[in-house]
Structures are given as structure tokens and as C-alpha cells.
Amino acid sequence: MNQKEIHQAIRILRREVPKWQTPIVTLVAENSESPFQVLISCILSLRTQDTTTAQATRRLFALADEPQTMARLSTKKIEKAIYPVGFYHTKAKNIRDICRTLIKEYSGEVPDEIDELLKLKGVGRKTANLVVTLGYRKPGICVDTHVHRISNRWGYVRTKNPKETEFALRAKLPQQYWLDYNDLLVTFGQHLCRPISPMCSQCPVRRYCARIGVTISR
């Protein structure tokens, strides 16, 4: 996929993706407009299916939806609210630690810079970029397994891991697409361009895809 084709592919995905279910972190951002809720929902979503994340997010935010109130919850209470998300013990501890740090170091506000977000316990580049883009509508490129896989499958980048993909996309992807690139590719990857046996026969952007690494498809 070349620079001319990426424009066409994204235009098509912007038309097609709304037909599928929106990722939970995006829904949180749209409904709450709270960077803190985006941050917490993203942490819950790591290694967890969207349906489980959505339920856990609703339960936790019903108890507390800002750092000051969430910091007063016990780790056990957070664990009970977010179970059965992946690594719920660790996530509960990290959430309490993050809330205390936000109150102590950032006056209860979630920072809007990636380098500052990375200082928070349990926050990696994927989460930091999601908070910046969805929480603050600032330019950033969030790369998860779907974005990494599809960008390489298309032949748009040739990278070995998500971190390399992020910086390759920062250098190549037109900035006008940075804010919604993750949303488009995550939804596309969950429903059609799957890791194993992608549904190429139904793919709306197959004419632009190099199908790198695809050995079996439907």
C-alpha cells in the first residue's frame, strides 16, 4: 500500500467501520469526555475482551468516576468491581496508585503529554496515546496488535513490534488520520481483518492490501 492508496483505504474504512460495534474505550470517550475515564477504561481493556471491559467499566464508574473518589476505594473493592478483566489484581493496585499520583503530582488532572502519562504505573505507549487522542483530541498514534498487524499486512509499514510501528506511522501516516487510525483498524481487525484466516473475500480495501503474511483466508 502506497501513500496514494492509504487515502483511499481510510476513506473506505470511515464509511464501513460504523456498521460494526465501536470499541468500548472509544464509547467512553464519546459519552463522558473525561480523560480520566478514558485512561481507566483503557487500562481495564488490556488483555481483555471488549464485552468484559464494558461491564467492568460500568461497575467501577458506578462506584467512582474521578481520581479523588476512586482513590478512597480499597483495592479489594476495585478488584470486585472489575473482575473478571485480565490481570485484575494488578490492575486494581495500579488504578489506586494512579489515582494517588494524579492527586499528589497533577492536582487530580490527567496529564495530556505522552511522556508524563508514561510515568503513571501500568501505563504504556498504547494507553498513553489513547488518552492523548481520545481524551484530549491531540495528535497521537495508538498502536495495539490490530494496528501493528494490519499496517504490516497492508505493506504500508514493515516493522517487528508495535513500538516500531508507532514511530514508522508517525513518520509516514498523514497527520489528518492520526486521531481515528486506531479506532478504524481495531474495529476492522476485530470484525474482518482477523489475525488468523482473515475474511479477505469480504474486505472493502482488499484491492490495496499486499496481504503480507496471509497464508489462509476466507
Nearest to 56 by CA among 31, 30, 80, 90: 80
Q: How far apart are CA 134 and CA 132, in angstroms?
A: 6
Question: Residue 33's pLDDT is what?
Answer: 84
Nearest to 19 by CA among 204, 218, 212: 204
Which residue segments constitute the domains of the chain, with CATH numbers given?
3-21+141-208 (1.10.1670.10), 33-136 (1.10.340.30)
Nearest to 75 by CA among 90, 57, 93: 93
Question: Residue 98's pLDDT is what?
Answer: 98
Is 187:22 a contact under the CB 8 Å cutoff? yes
Count of Cβ atoms closer than 10 Å to residue 59 Cβ? 14
Nearest to 49 by CA among 190, 156, 170, 166: 190
pTM of the model: 0.88
Question: Residue 38's pLDDT is what?
Answer: 96
Low-confidence ranges of the chain (pLDDT < 70): none
